[in-house]
Structure 1
Amino acid sequence: MDNRKFLSFGIKTGQRYSTHTALLDVWQEADSIPVFEHAWLNDHFMDLSSTPPGPYLESWILLAALAARTQRLRIGVMVTDNTYRHPAVFAKIAATVDVISHGRLNVGLGTGWSEQQHHAYGIPLPPPGERVRRLGEACEVIQRLWSEPAVTFDGSYYQLHEAPCDPKPVQKPFPPFAIGGEGERTLQVIARYADIWDCSVATPNLYAQKRLLLESYCRAIGRDSATIAYSRHIPVDPADLKATLAETRAFLEVGATHIIYHVPVPASGNILRRLAEEVALPLQAEYQ
């Protein structure tokens, strides 16, 4: 299968110990480099690797601020934990950010997973199977709120009663979903709802196996899997961009089409320009 015509490159910046000003500098620089088409935050509330955890900006408020100060990049949170926000409230948040960005939002979603963060903030973390079922209901609720005047919904986990979402998103019928996950039940939700699939398995071979499984679920429901972009995060070591190039190529060879480079903040040493010139642009020429 050849999805090369869909190849795109973007960046991701973590909020750990980062200020709004430092993040804005990176995003505005990426906004000025045409090969980077999208930019992402994550949805952590705290640093999971240190005690005390240190400062960590909330993702969707920060995304709205960055949306207002960028012009071209598609923007998103990769991925929003469905367990952290009721999907009807989240639909309102995301619609507002799509309005602020003039229709540049990609809506990242996932089941939720961090026991540490759920425990810290007193948020219930259901068992894995229930989290997947909740994600499926959430996708339906959100899309209906974005496309119907008022929504009544009586699901197993969510209930709405003539709920409006006004204003609607700028993008019609609604902003694209970027859904992360690798488990079989999650992949079935992805096959039904995702426009972008993000997969974080360890190796290209595993990525290829998961891609084939997703494509089988698409066939089962009559969906063309070529309508889904296959996303992959790639770490960036400013001292070794050859490694970044090699890892990117390895995942492109097994079907990845939507590359997200995890870049440092602040982006010192002209790293974004170097990443564009030494990695993204050569690969764009090679694969398109």
Structure 2
Amino acid sequence: MTVNLPSPCVVVLAGPGASGKSSWAAEHFAADAIVSSDRLRALAGAGEDDITASTDAFALLEQVVAVRMRRRLTTVIDTLGLDTERRRAWRELARRHDLPCVVVAFDTPAAECRARNRGRAKRIPADALTVQLRSWRQVRDLLATEGFDEVLTPQPIRVVPAAFVDTAAAAVRQRERPAGLRFGLHLSSFTFDGGTPATAERLREIAAAAEETGFDALYVMDHFRQIPQVGRAWDNFLESYTTLAYLAACTRTAELGALVTGVTYRNVAHLGKIVATLDVLSGGRAMCGLGLAWFRAEHTAYGWDFPPTSQRYALLEDALRLLPLLWGKGSPSFEGNVISVPEAACYPRPLREHVPVILGGGGERRTLRLAARHADAANVLGDLDTVRRKASVLRAHCAEAGRDPETVALTHLCTALVGTDDRELAASVERLRPQRVDSAKYAESVNAGTVDDHIGRFRALAEAGVNEVMVRLPDLTGPEPLTRMAKVIAAFR
């Protein structure tokens, strides 16, 4: 059985000489993560067997371990691990830096340790190994009482982003009792191979591949320049509704929408006309995402006002009330908090009898209350515990509004870097991570996981109440990454 540990973490190896610690560490961890007393003895002295260099080697080891923990890097401490005071100091240092600390106990039979030692080119002196074996019997029984987060045996181990630590069981549940889940592809970057001239063709290829992969919807961000969470302000970035119109012509089945439309960017009645036109031209596939708008720098750059939060909330509530009138029959007047429309007329009306409205934002006091009253879905961010809490709050607001919670979907926006296996995943992380960003930190930021990791994570989200996940693929410069995501989606069909 493979054990998943959260990244970053501290792994202390404990066992007598020749028990297999260094070989096991090399099999499961990158060389840079392993702090080895033997290797430091070779650095400080004449070789790994230079006992006279032990004091200096351990002094170096403690310095390296302290620096790595301070920098919150996964650290594997490869020593005998028989010194009680050193183990205590490592645990306390890990706690100080809020790092999980586990010990791996190498309870290899004494006879096997002796046989391995005899086969070494440079052997541990027999009397020294005997002392280690005696000490190990005492240490072995102490480990479970010392306060490590876990005491593990030398089994297969993976260090993964926190989102995937507990997903293995959920992946099994999905295989045994499949749950349904909608998937949307979130297009947040338009920097493609071939540059600007290739943009239209790359986008067409991605859209076609996304439908073939099984994505139910395609979403774009409603911004006018790239946001700092994704890239640089001068990176290529397409206008949202023009792009959606192009995607309508490139696709046949996927629903289309902006996740989410900033309510400050357009006259709301005009927005209603835009969405209705998109619905007609796409054959009834438009969705309308709405949000409060948050990017002050973008407003400033384009000369738009950026009203205070309270005014934007008033505008958002008016938009939620006005848009269904625009898409409905007749041309009723509308008088809201800040919007006045004498004629809510929109012809042709959308082909859909009801255009779904997705309200973006997880504010529990105001945004989710508005979603419960006026929207068809609430889109939230965050880890699994956060999503569970948002789902509970949304249900409470629905009850308060006298609305059936089943009529308001919960959707979740996240990033997912998908690898077929750990080796491919590690290569993708190294290729994509920005300079000066640790690979583990980057993996955490993009939810880097294998196909099974993501199946388990999405199953857990479905169990928390999520009806649809909108997924950003950070390596989506062409159709190829969609083939890996296809395996995840297939598990939910």
1:229 and 2:400 aligned: no
Please tell me the residue identity of whatever aligns with 1:39.
L
Judge conservation of contact 1:234–1:247 (CA < 8 Å) in 2.
no
Task: Give the corresponding residue for 1:251.
Answer: 461
Please tell me the residue identity of whatever aligns with 2:476.
V
Q: Which secondary structure state, in structure 1, belongs to the residue aligned with residue 412 of structure 2?
A: strand
Q: Deviations over 1:147-198 (max 9, x none)?
A: 13213222221111224211100000x2111111111111111001221211
Judge conservation of contact 2:179–2:459 (CA < 8 Å) in 1.
no
Task: Give the corresponding residue for 1:267.
Answer: 478
Matches of 1:168 and 1:6, distance apart in 2 = 32
Task: Give the corresponding residue for 1:281.
Answer: 490
Please tell me the residue identity of whatever aligns with 1:255.
G
Normalization by structure 2: what TM-score? 0.53
Task: Give the corresponding residue for 2:310.
Answer: 129
Go from structure 1 to structure 2 and tell me whether the alpha carbon gap of 1:115 and 1:212 turns closer, same or farther (over 3 Å shift): same
Q: Higher RCO, 1 or 2 (CA under 8 Å, sep at least 6)?
A: 1
Q: Deviations over 1:36-92 (max 9, x none)?
A: 211111111102336652321100011011112210111111111111111100000
1:193 and 2:404 aligned: no
Matches of 2:490 and 2:347, distance apart in 1 = 40
Q: Which secondary structure state, in structure 1, belongs to the residue aligned with residue 396 of structure 2?
A: helix
Q: Which secondary structure state, in structure 2, belongs to the residue aligned with residue 151 of structure 1?
A: coil
Task: Give the corresponding residue for 1:17.
Answer: 191
Matches of 1:88 and 1:252, distance apart in 2 = 35
Q: Deviations over 1:110-137 (max 9, x none)?
A: 1111111111111112222221221110
Q: Which secondary structure state, in structure 2, belongs to the residue aligned with residue 10 of structure 1?
A: strand
Spell out the pairing of 1:136-155 with structure 2 (5 A cutoff): 136-155=317-336
Please tell me the residue identity of whatever aligns with 1:241.
T
Matches of 1:166 and 1:112, distance apart in 2 = 28
Judge conservation of contact 1:15–1:42 (CA < 8 Å) in 2.
no
Cα RMSD between the aligned structures?
1.9
Spell out the pairing of 1:166-177 with structure 2 (5 A cutoff): 166-172=347-353, 174-177=354-357
Matches of 2:347 and 2:180, distance apart in 1 = 32
Go from structure 1 to structure 2 and tell me whether the alpha carbon gap of 1:233 and 1:163 turns closer, same or farther (over 3 Å shift): closer
Task: Give the corresponding residue for 2:226.
Answer: 47
Normalization by structure 1: what TM-score? 0.89
Please tell me the residue identity of whatever aligns with 1:9.
F
Deviates more, 1:65-74 or 1:41-50: 41-50
Higher radius of gyration, 1 or 2: 2
Q: Deviations over 1:219-263 (max 9, x none)?
A: 111111111221112312143434433432332232212011212
Matches of 2:200 and 2:262, distance apart in 1 = 22
Go from structure 1 to structure 2 and tell me whether the alpha carbon gap of 1:54 and 1:205 turns closer, same or farther (over 3 Å shift): same
Please tell me the residue identity of whatever aligns with 2:467.
T
Give the ranges of 4+ consecutive aligned residues of structure 1 lying more than 6 Å apart after TM superposition. Answer: none
Q: Which secondary structure state, in structure 2, belongs to the residue aligned with residue 244 of structure 1?
A: helix
Go from structure 1 to structure 2 and tell me whether the alpha carbon gap of 1:261 and 1:124 turns closer, same or farther (over 3 Å shift): same
Matches of 1:22 and 1:86, distance apart in 2 = 32
Q: Which residues of structure 2 form unaligned runs of 5+? A: 1-177, 193-198, 419-424, 426-448
Matches of 1:82 and 1:11, distance apart in 2 = 22
How many equivalent residue pairs? 276
